[in-house]
């Protein structure tokens, strides 16, 4: 196996300042170091060889002054190689930031110039690379070297307040030196070079109230008695100057608005020591009758105040509240006023701040007191009733003119006008009551019925005789007391049933009663049989002592054929004084029942109809006679043989819906419209129709019938029976002639075509399809 040793070369360039050529030039030496280490971790062979080669670069200037405004390119420095013997064989090349665009190099001499105006605030330095090459072969004769051109700062930027203008707040009466706000200015110049970016703050406007610290820009109060009520804001102008504030430095300014915030340093004060208001005696309770206000120079919560009544003869009659929006004191009436009783009131009212600042308590009390005088104004008042609501009672059996009670009203004014009474008829439209205009006595004017109206709500009016426009009102509630004037009766119309196989003593019905009266102790009904009951009783009544009664059988084995309906007369009496009673009829129908007592048939025969009564019988007879008359009129019309004259527009075939009670019943059970429009009649004095015309019309009618049959066969919701409409006349020209059974016989008509119409007309074919000799279609 062959072993190879890999040699790695480490090149290190070391730049040494080895020669000082003077204040404007420096020579840099370049050393190339070659290191050839051993091949492995444990290798003992290894050597490091150093090959030294000297390279000489010369800079005549390291800095470029910014903002140069000369006409010629600005000289930056010079590059020179020791390999350059002055034979024009060396060419200098410049690369890097701004090479050939901002900086140019003379490839023969190595002189570097700046061709553009530079701004340090945009770019403070540039990194460039230089190399010397052989002019003929363009091969490097010196390794590439990197250097920096730094832009030298000048004071060309003024300070700027980036966060201005400022707004700050400070409490009024703040101590001297209280910090208000800090202003900050920035300078784009180089803070590490000279004094171009070293700032000093000063105040140009705002003295002597405020000051500013020169180095920090902190604005502080300079006076201790700043009063918001005198001046609530100040405008300050702050300056920042560079070059430590020296002459020639640049400066910038900003404005600062300082707003003084309020503290509670002003107590409330009434503008007057006494106030006077007039209040009419008719003013309603809870109404604001006066407003007073104390002034406070403070604002916000510091100006909020409370009012209270300290003393006075109006305590209890009036109270005072604070309006939260206007900070006014609202004097509110708590009791009704009466000029004749008391004509004036006085109140001593205090106003005080709700929130007090402890820092200013030494200045004095933060409240004020004023006197409020309230004069009661006299008003012509309407009559006043002794009671605005009166309750009275009267029996419903009271005779007309019975006194119910009385009302009383008087004029509260000093003139004491006489009062006239009347009833507001809107509250007593049926005029059950009258009132004496002078005495106020209320009497009945009509009979009363508690079951109709049990409480009357009437309004009594009292008018002044001297001024009828002054009207007072009072409400009178008249309760109508009950008397026993209504007999009890069945609660509902009962229909009782009894089975043929019923046993004696079996309960077939339980009945209850109602009574329109309303006794104080409730209803107590008694049930019994009427003494007018038939001699042989089949049923009896048992009083259950709970306002109900049970109907029981006295024997068993009832038969419908013997008697379908049994009548039971039940007497119901109440517990009133005097007691009232009524006789009630209970119909009991005999039914055919199963072994479990379930009704299977309860047929109503003519006997049952007789029980219903004369009115029901008369109604049924009327209906029967009406129906018979309709049938007779229908038969008479269908026997007419005359030909009706119809217009050409009425000769079209039309369709109507008809309804039958059964199938094949003929014309007696038909409920239909007049179908005269379907009759094909020839006109008067018209000759016989041609055979072709009659055949065309017959074919058209046959097509119409077939279309209707096809639609009926396809209709799934069609009723499950057939029907055929018969007409009085078919027309003299019809091949089928008349289909009516009233004017034709089986020998005259041939109904064989019904067999061809399908199974829907099978029953009609059976009814009309008898052939001579008794044959029937099958």
Same domain, 409 and 456: yes
Judged by average pLDDT, the poorest of 170-179, 411-420, 687-696 is: 687-696
Residues 511 and 459 reside in one and the same domain: no
199 located within any domain: yes
Task: Check whether residue 564 and residue 592 sit in a common domain.
Answer: yes
Which residue, 601, 633, 652, sits at the end of a domain? 601
CA angle, corner 377, sides to 375 and 379, nearest 5?
Answer: 165
pLDDT given at position 431: 94
Q: What is the C-alpha to C-alpha distance for residues 497 and 499, in angstroms, rounded to an integer?
A: 7
**Total structural domains in the chain?**
5
Mean pLDDT for all residues in the chain: 77
Q: Does residue 650 belong to any structural domain of this protein?
A: no
Secondary structure (DSSP) of 584-640: EEEEEEEEEE-TT--EEE----HHHHHHH-HHHHHHHHHHHHHHHHHHHHHHHHHT-
Q: What is the pLDDT of residues 344-389, one digit of tens each?
A: 999 999 999 988 887 776 766 789 999 999 999 988 888 999 999 9
Within a domain: 405 = yes
- Number of neighbouring beta carbons within 10 Å of residue 626: 9
Same domain, 307 and 354: yes
User: Which residue's structure tokens are 């700046």?
Assistant: 114
Residue 501 contacts residue 559 (beta carbons within 8 Å): no
DSSP-assigned letter for residue 218: E
Tell me the per-residue pLDDT of 45-55, one tens digit each, with 9 for 90 and over.
Answer: 333 344 444 44
Instruction: Tell me the DSSP string of 256-303.
Output: EEEEEEP-S----EESSSEEEEEEETTPPTT-EEEEE-EE-S--GGGG
Q: In what order do the strands lie in the sheet with 90-96?
A: 63-65, 145-152, 125-134, 90-96
Choose one of 99, 131, 152: the last residue of a domain: 152
Is 474 in the same domain as 534? no
Quote the domain boundaries for residue 212: 160-261
- Residue in 462, 266, 292, 304 with CA at minimum distance from that of residue 372: 292
Is residue 257 situated within a structural domain?
Answer: yes
**634 band by pLDDT with thresholds 50, 70 and 90:** low
In this prediction, residue 633 carries a pLDDT of: 66
108/179 same-domain check: no
Among 377, 392, 412, the domain-final residue is: 377
Question: How high is the pLDDT of residue 617?
Answer: 45
Alpha-carbon span 570 to 566, nearest angstrom? 13
Residue 291 to residue 372: CA distance in whole angstroms: 10
**Peptide bond preceding 208 in cis form (omega within 30 of 0):** yes
pLDDT per residue as tens digits for the range 720-762: 555 555 444 444 454 555 555 554 444 456 666 776 777 777 7
- Does 127 share its domain with 168? no
Enter the tokens of residue 387. 């009671």
Does some domain include residue 746? no
Q: 702 lies in a domain?
A: no
Q: Answer whether residue 391 is part of any domain.
A: yes
**Cross-strand pairs, 295:** 269
Question: Model confidence over 530-588: pLDDT tens digits?
Answer: 887 665 688 999 999 999 999 999 988 888 888 899 999 999 999 888 889 999 999 99
- Over residues 708-720, the mean pLDDT reads 66
d(CA 436, CA 407): 10
CATH number for the domain spanning 566: value is: 2.60.40.60
- Regarding whether 370 and 273 lie in a shared domain, the answer is yes
Structure tokens at 88: 């024009």
Of residues 680 and 306, the one with the higher pLDDT is 306
What is the rounded CA–CA span in Å between residue 428 and residue 411? 25
Q: Are residues 298 and 336 in the same domain?
A: yes
Q: Convert 432-449 into a string of H (helix), E (strand) and C (coil).
A: CEEECCCCCEEEECCCCC
pLDDT at 534: 65
Same domain, 171 and 216: yes
Nearest to 245 by CA among 199, 185, 213: 199
Whether 681 maps to a domain, the answer reads no
- Please tell me which residue, 658 or 591, carries the higher pLDDT value: 591
Asked if residue 183 and residue 148 are part of one domain, the reply reads no
Taking residues 168-185, what's their average pLDDT?
94
Model confidence over 118-150: pLDDT tens digits?
A: 888 888 888 888 888 988 888 998 888 888 888
Q: Are 148 and 164 members of one domain?
A: no
pLDDT at 189 over 80: yes
- pLDDT of amino acid 654: 42
């Amino acid at each position: 196996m062959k072993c190879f040793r890999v040699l790695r070369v480490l090149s290190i360039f070391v730049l040494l300042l080895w020669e000082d050529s003077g204040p404007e030039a420096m020579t840099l030496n370049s050393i190339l170091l070659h290191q050839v280490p051993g091949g492995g971790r444990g290798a003992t062979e290894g050597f490091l060889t150093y090959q030294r080669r000297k390279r000489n670069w010369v800079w005549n200037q390291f800095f470029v002054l910014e903002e140069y405004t000369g006409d010629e390119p600005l000289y930056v420095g010079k590059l020179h190689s020791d390999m350059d013997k002055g034979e024009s064989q060396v060419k200098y090349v410049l690369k890097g930031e701004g090479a050939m665009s901002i900086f140019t190099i003379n490839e023969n001499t190595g002189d570097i110039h700046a061709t553009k105006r530079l701004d340090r605030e945009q770019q403070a330095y540039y990194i460039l690379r230089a190399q010397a090459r052989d002019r003929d072969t363009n091969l490097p004769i010196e390794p590439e070297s990197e250097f920096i051109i730094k832009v030298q700062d000048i004071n060309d930027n003024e300070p700027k307040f980036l966060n201005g203008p400022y707004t700050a707040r400070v409490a009024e009466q703040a101590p001297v030196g209280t910090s208000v706000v800090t202003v900050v200015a920035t300078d784009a110049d180089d803070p590490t070079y000279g004094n171009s970016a070293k700032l000093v703050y000063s105040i140009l406007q705002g003295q002597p109230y405020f000051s500013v610290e020169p180095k920090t820009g902190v604005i502080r109060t300079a006076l201790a008695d700043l009063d918001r009520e005198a001046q609530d804001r100040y405008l300050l102008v702050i300056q920042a100057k560079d070059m430590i504030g020296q002459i020639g430095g640049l400066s910038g300014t900003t404005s600062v608005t300082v707003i003084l915030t309020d503290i509670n340093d002003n107590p409330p004060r009434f503008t007057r020591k006494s106030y006077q208001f007039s209040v009419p005696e008719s003013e309603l309770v809870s109404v604001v009758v006066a407003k007073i206000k104390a002034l406070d120079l403070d604002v916000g919560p510091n100006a909020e105040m409370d009012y209270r009544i300290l003393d006075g003869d109006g305590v209890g009659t009036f109270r005072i509240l604070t309006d939260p929006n206007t900070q006014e004191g609202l004097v509110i009436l708590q009791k009704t006023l009466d000029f004749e009783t008391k004509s004036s009131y006085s109140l001593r009212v205090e106003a005080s701040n709700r929130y007090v600042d402890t820092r200013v308590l030494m200045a004095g009390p933060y409240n004020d007191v004023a006197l409020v005088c309230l004069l009661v104004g006299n008003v012509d008042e309407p009559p006043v009733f002794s009671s605005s609501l009166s309750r009275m009672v009267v029996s419903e059996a009271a005779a007309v003119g019975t006194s119910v009670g009385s009302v009383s009203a008087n004029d509260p004014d000093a003139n004491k006008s006489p009062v006239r009474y009347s009833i507001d008829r809107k509250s007593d439209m049926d005029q059950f009551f009258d009132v004496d205009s002078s005495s106020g006595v209320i009497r009945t004017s009509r009979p009363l019925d508690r079951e109709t109206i049990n409480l009357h709500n009437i309004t009594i009016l009292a008018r002044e005789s001297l001024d009828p426009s002054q009207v007072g009102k009072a409400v009178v509630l008249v309760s109508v007391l009950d008397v026993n004037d209504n007999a009890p009766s069945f609660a509902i119309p009962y229909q009782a049933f009894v089975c043929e196989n019923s046993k004696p003593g079996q309960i077939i019905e339980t009945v209850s009663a109602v009574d329109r009266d309303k006794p104080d102790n409730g209803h107590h009904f008694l049930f019994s049989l009427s003494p007018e009951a038939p001699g042989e009783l089949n049923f009896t009544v048992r009083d259950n002592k709970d306002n109900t009664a049970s109907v029981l059988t006295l024997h068993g084995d009832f038969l419908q054929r013997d008697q379908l309906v049994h009548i039971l007369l039940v007497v119901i009496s109440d517990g009133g004084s005097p007691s009232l009673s009524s006789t009630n009829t209970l119909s009991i129908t005999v039914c055919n029942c199963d072994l479990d007592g379930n009704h299977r048939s309860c047929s109503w025969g003519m006997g049952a109809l007789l029980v219903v009564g004369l009115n029901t019988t008369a109604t049924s007879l009327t209906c029967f006679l009406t129906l018979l008359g309709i049938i007779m009129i229908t038969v008479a019309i269908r026997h007419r043989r005359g030909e009706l004259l119809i217009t050409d527009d009425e000769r079209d075939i039309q369709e109507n819906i008809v309804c039958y009670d059964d199938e094949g019943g003929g014309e007696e059970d038909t409920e239909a419209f007049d179908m005269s429009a379907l009759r094909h009649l020839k006109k008067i004095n018209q000759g016989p129709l041609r055979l072709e015309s009659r055949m065309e019309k017959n074919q058209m009618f046959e097509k119409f019938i077939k279309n209707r049959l096809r639609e009926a066969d396809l209709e799934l919701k069609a009723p499950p029976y057939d029907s055929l409409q018969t007409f009085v006349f078919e027309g003299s020209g019809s091949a089928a002639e008349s289909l009516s059974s009233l004017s034709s016989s089986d020998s005259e008509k041939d109904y064989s075509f019904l067999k061809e119409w399908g199974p829907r007309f099978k029953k009609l074919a059976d009814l009309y399809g008898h052939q001579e000799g008794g044959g029937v279609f099958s």
